[in-house]
Each structure stands twice: as C-alpha cells, then as structure tokens.
Amino acid sequence: METQPNQNLGIVVTGSVEKGTDVRLDSSASVEDMVVGRYVTIEGKKRRFFGMVTDISLGVTDEEIAISPPDTSDTFTAEILEGTATYGSLHVLPMLTIGGDVNSVIEGPQPVKTVPSHFSRVKLASEADMELVFGKEDSSRFYIGNPLDMETKLCLNLEELVNRSNGIFGKSGTGKTFLTRLLLIGILQKSKATNLIFDMQNEYGWAGTSEGGQRTVKALKPPFPSKVAVFTLDEENSRHRGVSTDFVVRIGYDEIEPEDISLLRQTLNLTDPAVEAVYQLHRRWGRDWMQKTLDMPDSDETTKFLQEMNIHESTFQNLRRGLATIRRLPFIVAHTPMNATSSILEYLERGMNVVLEFGRHRDITTYMLVANMLASRIYKRYQEKMEASMAGKVTPPTPLVITIEEAHKFLNREIAGYTIFGTIAREMRKYNVTLLVIDQRPSAIDEEVMSQLGTKITCLLDNERDIDAVLAGVSGKNELKTVLARLAPKQQALIFGHAVPMPVPIRTREWGTPKSYEEFTRGGDSPKQAEKDIKELFE
C-alpha cells in the first residue's frame, strides 16, 4: 500500500534533542515505502514538530527471531510477526516546531529545543505543512524543485539567499551546472541582484548541455535577451558556435598588477623571490612593468640593472618564463582602449547580468587570472560606491552575485587569504557583492570561507572529506550525511543554510523542454514580454 500524506506512520518511542527520535512504524505502514530524506510531522501534546527521516531500520523484539527466522514459505507466521515481534523503525531528526498557542502560530516555525513526548503520532508531512515551512512561490521566492517524493513546490527566498555568499557542490556529473543555471535564472527573476558569471565551460550564455550531456539546452541569454549580456574572451570560438556576443574582452599588459601575478604563483610555477621581484619592478616602472620586463634584452645592461635591483639572474628568468605564459594568451594585448572592467560595470549598473565566456581558454591559469583581475577591480568600484552611499551621497549599488567555478583553486587554504574571492567570501554583503561558488572538492576550500557561506546546495558527494567539509557546523550532521550519501546521482540535491528554515533534499525542477522554458519565462518578465520572448525562442 502506498503511503499517503497524513497517514499515520507510527509513534515516537525514544528520542533526544541531540540524536533525534526513534519512531516505531505501525504495522500498516511498510518500511519499503519509507525513504530517507522525507519529511514527517510529529503531533506532540503541546506543539507540532517537523522532522526529516534520516534512517530506517528493522527491529525484532526477540533476538531468537533473527537467529531462527520462520521459513520463507511460512507466510502465515511471517504475517503474524510483521508489526508485532518484528517491526520497522524510523529515525527522525526533528528540526522545526510550532507551538499550539496563537503567538507561536504567528511567529511561524522555530528551531527545535525539545523532543516530542512519548507515543506522539507521526505522519508524513502534507503539502500544506511544507508550504507553512518553506512558503509559497511569490515575487521573491523561487521554485527550485520538489522535496523528494512530494509534489509540493519548494521555494527558496532569493532576496535572503543573495544577501550572503552561497555554494553549490557535488562531484562531477551530478548536475551542479544544471542547478547553478536554475539558481541564476532565479536570481535574475526574483531578486534585485545582478549576476556576473565567469563561465569557464561556456554553459551559461547561449546554450549549455543537459544533464548527462546528451542534448543542448538553452542557457540564460535566449530566454532573457533583455537582461543578459554575453562577454567573450575568445571571439573566434563564439563565431564558430554561431553565437553573438555583446563585448569582446581584451586585457592589456598595463592592466596586470603584481597581485594578479602573485595569485598565479602556483600555476605559473613562480618562486617566492620571483613574485617579490614583480613588486619591485612594478615600483620601479609602474603600469608598464610587464611590457618592459618582457622587452628586456639579454645584455650586460640588463645584468647591471638586475644587480642594481638586487634580483638574482635565475629569479628573473623564472619570472620571464611565467610572464611569457601569460603573454601567449591571445586575449592579452599590449594595450587595449576598451577597458573590460568598465564595460562590465556599465552593464551591471544597467541591471544587466553579465556572462563572461572563456571560449577555448579553459585552462585554469586563464580562468584564475581573468576572474581574479576583473573581480577585484569590480569589487573595488563597488567598495567605493558603497562607501560613498554610506556617506549619503549616492544610492548604494545593486547587489552583485559573482559566480565562480572550480572555486577551490581560488579559495584553498594557501591562497584564500590573497584572492579577492577570499575577501568577498569573508566580508559577506558589506559591499553588496556576494559569491556563488561552484566546486567539486569542497574539502579543498578554506574552512573559514566555507563557514561564511550562507546557503549550501549540494548534489551527491561520495568522498568522506568532502561530505564533512560541506556539513561542518550543521546540526544533525551525522544524520544529514546519510541523506547526502544517498542522493540520486542526478537531479537531486540537499539544500541547507540561511535561505531555508531546515535542510531539505530536493529533486530539481526541469529545464530544457519547451514547457519548462515557458514556465520559467512566465514567472519573470511581464506576460507580454514573455510571450514575445517565447515566440522568438521558437522561430
């Protein structure tokens, strides 16, 4: 028999606040219908509790039954023992509670500080219960998926979400990109924030691949042409893919600062003295330091100059090799009249979302150099504007969410202190800039940064250290581990943290079919605009 919402599942028999409660299943409810991660409500005497099933077990009242079980052909004995001497039991982690009095109802669900009394009845949470906890889809709540095995729409409060930095994790191929795309659409539609996306794999601009990569799905630009601008580092690649771009990013030598090189010390294989030399050269030559360093001939003059600067010959060669790697990047030019930072800011100020496609430049050096350079300059401008607005001169800038992939490269323990992303993650929303970090190795990210992430959305992870890193500091960590390790490898994720009142495993919403495009666009632009967009989409 399928279990229905509101059906009695069983009664609470033991429990503790720390470890959660044990529920003995009624004989009418089958263990096989239970799933870890499902929501239940517990009707205590004075209050109701919301909890999540975190473990399911089989019990016997008499050890002898386990030692000499009835014969498999003996259905009669088995039927009698079922639910009496042998029973199913659920481990439920209560997470929220609502008191019975009027005040508590107005206050809404609160975190649990107690356990339900003995023999409280346990039921599957109904759609109304879920709505009470997570709220309905509205102007700031975005429907991201359904709780496991339920039809209820699970909505995230995106205004709340973008107030802090957030993380999306999961091992590769579990749908991180897919989930990110959904979330970006949500932020674009339901919050005042704008997005800046460093799109390493060209997944968020015009078209991306579906989960599993069998087919192409639309990315951000086609459904929301008026809200999204696509920047590219690789014009040729964009042309090959037949997509138009709003801006081609070029970076001049004179835009590269010592901090940018310092960050790349690992990828460029630079020694510490070489990095030190960069600062020295910058002090000496200013903006032209890179050009001049590269132009230096192998002459006595150079040797003399190096001696004067107190830079060792081998250090200098090491630095030159590193800089040559950068120079080889096609988008690095001696000087560019069009400053990429200003253009991005211009678009962002107009409320546009910017996707920066990397084209064929998918190596991590490029990604780190460009993302860090642009982000730090943009962040600086936001900082200035925010300070000006605090002084009451101008309105504060619109909140900005910067999306970075392979986040552990920027935020690992060694360099999180130096990169701009480490700063943004730690300073939170002080300057209206937050991060959306996407990563498959959360254990490699600095703990301090991890602890600052407001909401974490994680797809399947199977490395013990990664799971520990993601769940660090969450109450009921051990129980959630069971849930996390049992997510389906696709289209399922566990959301917890600031934007949701309690952790919730979800099946993500569909994206990639004409129907889904229509559903999304309907929620965003005005109906007229949406209609127009859809028409264009299928022409």
Partner 1 sequence: MSTKLGEIIESGSTEFTAESYELHNLPSLGSLVKVTAPKLEIFGIVYQSGTAGIEPGRRPIARGKDETSEEAVYQSSPQLMKLLRSEFQVIVVGHKIDGKILQYLPPKPAHIHAFVHLCTSEEIKQFSQSFSFLSILVNNRLQISTEELVAAALREMSKAQTDPHAFLIAAGKALTATLSGEYHRLKTILSRLKQ
Q: Which chain residues interact with partner 1 by CB under 8 A?
A: 27, 61-62, 64-65, 68, 70, 74, 76-77, 79-81, 83-85
Per-residue tokens: 394: 């101008």
CB of 72 to partner 1, least distance (A): 14
Query: Containing H/E element for 440?
Result: none
Query: At 347, which amino acid appears?
Result: Y
User: Would you call 475 helix, strand, or coil by DSSP?
Assistant: coil
Of 8 and 210, nearer to partner 1 (C-beta) is: 8
Of 76 and 538, nearer to partner 1 (C-beta) is: 76
Whether residue 379 contacts residue 433, with contact meaning beta carbons closer than 8 Å, is answered with yes
Using alpha carbons, list the distances in angstroms from residue 520 to 124, 208, 233, 421, 524. 30, 16, 29, 30, 7
Of 85 and 388, nearer to partner 1 (C-beta) is: 85
Of 61 and 302, nearer to partner 1 (C-beta) is: 61
Secondary structure letter of residue 397 according to DSSP? P
Of 61 and 303, nearer to partner 1 (C-beta) is: 61
CB of 22 to partner 1, least distance (A): 18
Using alpha carbons, list the distances in angstroms from residue 499 to 30, 139, 190, 327, 404. 34, 15, 14, 43, 20
- Rounded CA separation 255/372 (Å): 12
CB of 476 to partner 1, least distance (A): 33
CB of 176 to partner 1, least distance (A): 50
- Rounded CA separation 521/519 (Å): 6
- Rounded CA separation 404/504 (Å): 24
Report the length, in residues, of the chain.
539
- Rounded CA separation 78/58 (Å): 14
Tell me phi and psi for residue 294, to 5 degrees.
Answer: -70, -30
CB of 84 to partner 1, least distance (A): 4
CB of 10 to partner 1, least distance (A): 16
Query: At 469, which amino acid appears?
Result: A
Side-chain-side CA neighbours of residue 438 (13 Å):
22
Of 85 and 294, nearer to partner 1 (C-beta) is: 85
Whether residue 434 contacts residue 402, with contact meaning beta carbons closer than 8 Å, is answered with yes
- Rounded CA separation 385/430 (Å): 12
CB of 86 to partner 1, least distance (A): 9
CB of 76 to partner 1, least distance (A): 5
CB of 2 to partner 1, least distance (A): 22
Of 75 and 244, nearer to partner 1 (C-beta) is: 75
- Rounded CA separation 71/379 (Å): 71
Of 77 and 117, nearer to partner 1 (C-beta) is: 77
Of 78 and 534, nearer to partner 1 (C-beta) is: 78
Of 81 and 499, nearer to partner 1 (C-beta) is: 81
Whether residue 407 contacts residue 453, with contact meaning beta carbons closer than 8 Å, is answered with no
Of 67 and 106, nearer to partner 1 (C-beta) is: 67
Using alpha carbons, list the distances in angstroms from residue 75 to 32, 79, 157, 451. 18, 6, 51, 53
Whether residue 348 contacts residue 354, with contact meaning beta carbons closer than 8 Å, is answered with yes
CB of 23 to partner 1, least distance (A): 19
Q: Which of 168, 492, 509, 227 is nearest to 351 (CA)?
A: 227
CB of 64 to partner 1, least distance (A): 4
